[in-house]
Amino acid sequence: MFEEIGTTAEGDLVINMGPQHPATHGVLHLLITLNGETIKKVEPHLGYIHRSIEKMCESLTYRQFIYVTSRMDYLSAHINNHCCALCVEKGLQIEIPSRAQVIRILVDELTRIASHELWWGAMAMDLGAFTPFFYAFRERETINDIMEETSGARLTMNYIVPGGVMADIHPNFQKRVKSFIQLFKSKVDEYDELVTGNVIFQGRMKGVGVLSKEDAISYGCTGPAARGSGVNCDIRKLYPYEIYNTLEFDEILETAGDSFARYMVRIREMKQSIRIIEQLIDNIPEGDFQAKTKAVLKLPKGEFYQRVETARGELGVYIISEGGTTPYRIKFRSPGFSNLSALDHIARAGKIGDLVATMGTLDLVIPDIDR
């Protein structure tokens, strides 16, 4: 039974947060039981933005269903598409040209930076600092422009097709990415100056919302939320896909498990993404950007699973095929859903004023949770 708004028998106050609340960044409804200012329970209610994407995918062909997944975690739309394409390619057993692989990874990492930038701005805004939002969007805009030029869209790009990418990179791509790297390197220190080093900010983040390593594993947290607690869970390292095993980058781990640790993981991850881009940007192999595929794709009968590391954690795509042109069943394992499930645990016994900050460091994207 859901608790009702009002006062419980023990004298605790039950209040709503959302579904229309600026700090939930989407239509998430939290039912919070409070004893004074202390949180006793947080109950997330989902379904406000459920679009039955999994069911929709069953009626779309293997070429068509990829674009829908952009609408799940729209901030890592490209990485979602990537995962689906990899899963279909696994079923088709086609070889991807190395040029396409490199382009995919480059855009993946740019997406990751863009996503973390937006999170950083929104996170600071949750804590009451408005300026960082503009600074984050300034750099993010550069990435969006690069994407727009190459793929034709800024956010939900649908740039990946089974077998490669939809179009070759724009002639300006390399030049603009390089200038972005220069820009970003000079700006990322500003982020530290503006927010990370701020004593008030640190005071509100350190020791708040602690998630232990064991709990992170048992709740199935992935991505920066779990790496902040010291869990090795970077899919790019554990189950490398495409050419990630040939690249040099570090899996960022923090051990404190509090909000600040999760914050630092993302900040440091952006620098690792830059490192990956730097390795690849001058070494894009020549060749085709798309493998030859049939006009109508048919997956053999069977089950296929693929996981990738999105900006929020592990995304899994599970396809059951009956041998036809459309999947029989598709299941998405979205990172946001598992990360949200830990919210009740880490917010308990904390203060209601810290809830927004804690939620911000989990980096929830609600359409990803509801699908």
Partner 1 sequence: MFIIDYIKEVYSAVKSLLKGMKLTGYYFTHHKEIITQQYPEVKQTLPERFRGEVVMLHDENNEHACTGCTACELACPNATIKIITKFDVSPEGKKKKALDTFVYHLELCTMCNLCIEACPTDAIKMAQTFEHSVFDRSLLTKKLNKPGSKIREGVE
Q: Which residues of 269-295 are buried (b: 16+ CB within 10 A; e: fewer)?
A: bbebbbebbbbbbeebeeeebbbebee
- Residue 251 region by backbone torsions, left for phi larger than 0, else alpha for psi between -120 and 50, else beta: beta
Contact (CB, 8 A) for 97 and 287: yes
User: Measured from the CB of residue 185, what is the shortest distance to partner 1 in angstroms?
Assistant: 16
Using the rule CB under 8 A, give the single segment among 11-19, 102-110, 111-119, 161-169 that binds partner 1. 161-169
In terms of CB distance, is 3 or 189 closer to partner 1? 189
Residues that contact partner 1, how many (by CB under 8 A): 30
Using the rule CB under 8 A, give the single segment among 7-15, 63-71, 236-244, 253-261 that binds partner 1. 63-71
Cα dihedral 131, 256, 230, 114, rounded to 10, equals 0
Site string for partner 1, 104-123 (x = CB under 8 A): --------------------
In terms of CB distance, is 159 or 219 closer to partner 1? 159
Q: Which of 295, 296, 290, 291 has the alpha carbon at shortest distance from 326?
A: 296
Residue selected from 23, 46, 94, 166 as contacting partner 1 according to rule CB under 8 A: 166
221 touches partner 1 by CB under 8 A = no
Q: Which of 121, 118, 120, 171 has the alpha carbon at shortest distance from 146?
A: 171
User: Measured from the CB of residue 41, what is the shortest distance to partner 1 in angstroms?
Assistant: 33
What residues from 182 to 201 belong to the interface with partner 1 (CB under 8 A)?
190, 193-195, 197-200
User: Measured from the CB of residue 131, what is the shortest distance to partner 1 in angstroms?
Assistant: 5
In terms of CB distance, is 2 or 130 closer to partner 1? 130
* CA distance linking residue 30 with residue 293, whole number of Å: 46
Contact (CB, 8 A) for 283 and 102: yes
* CA distance linking residue 239 with residue 206, whole number of Å: 32
What residues from 258 to 297 belong to the interface with partner 1 (CB under 8 A)?
295
Q: Beta partners for 35?
A: 38
Tokens standing for residue 333: 């394992």
150 touches partner 1 by CB under 8 A = yes
Residue selected from 21, 40, 48, 64 as contacting partner 1 according to rule CB under 8 A: 64
Task: Enumerate binding residues for partner 1 (CB under 8 A).
Answer: 60, 63-65, 67-68, 131, 138, 141, 148-153, 156, 158, 161, 166-167, 170, 190, 193-195, 197-200, 295
